[in-house]
Amino acid sequence: MKLFDGGRAPNPRRVRVFLAEKGIEVPLVPVDMGAMGHRDEVVTRRNPLQRLPVLELDDGTVLTESVAICRYFEELHPEPALFGAGALGKAQVEMWQRRLELGLFNFVAQAFRHIHPAMKDWEIPQIPEWGEANKPKAIAFLRFFDGELASREFAAGDRYSIADITGMIAVDFMKPARIAMPDDCANVRRWYAAVSSRPSAAA
């Protein structure tokens, strides 16, 4: 198999961090997203939505969507369980994975795509007013998340999970999106420092 990878972009990194946590090595095919490589024929033929990452299995089967690719590897290599354990544990990871994706990552991404000058050929039309409207939504979520993290170590409970990966990547994405971490989010800062210092974060 091979993984068409997109370098520094958030979603490709999400899968690389996941694989590093699992201790799985997959051959990478680098794609230069800065040069719009994700819209060339090599990627488009495999994913008409022109998004990365794309996993191609040895028989040619293609999987897209970072979380779907992660789930494939979770099923093949169940330990350490990064999607949770038990019915309730799995549901709680799913809940927090979604909360962090829809309630933080998505808002940060919208702010970046609709405001940053480098995105003008990516997001058409860019609507700066919409980009700005996402910033307070992201901040409000961080304050909610901060309250949750007062009583536990990781996003979905006492064990590291894919929800932490999504959350870490969302916080890293705040920098180019020009959203500052609020001073009063001490628990989020503690959590972010912990997940960012894991060896997988360098992936």
Cα dist from 203 to 98, 150, 200, whole Å: 22, 28, 6
Provide the token pair at 87.
């019915």
Q: Would you count residue 130 as binding its own copies (CB under 8 A)?
A: yes
In the bound state with its own copies, the residue whose beta carbon lies nearer, of 3 and 63, is: 63
Q: Are strands 54-56 and 62-64 parallel, antiparallel or unpaired?
A: antiparallel
123 CB-near residues (< 8 Å, 6+ apart): 113, 114
- Residue 86 touches its own copies, criterion: CB under 8 A: yes
Contact status: 75 vs its own copies (CB under 8 A): yes
Number of shown-chain residues binding its own copies (CB under 8 A): 32
Say if residues 74 and 140 touch (Cβ distance below 8 Å). Answer: no
Tell me the window of 15-23, 26-34, 95-103, 170-178 that interacts with its own copies (CB under 8 A). Answer: 95-103
Q: Which is nearer to its own copies, 5 or 103 (CB)?
A: 103
Separation of alpha carbons 202 and 194, rounded Å: 13
| Residues that bind its own copies in the complex, under the rule CB under 8 A | 48-49, 57, 61, 63-65, 67-69, 71-72, 75-76, 86-88, 90-92, 94-95, 98-99, 103, 125, 127, 129-130, 133, 144, 147
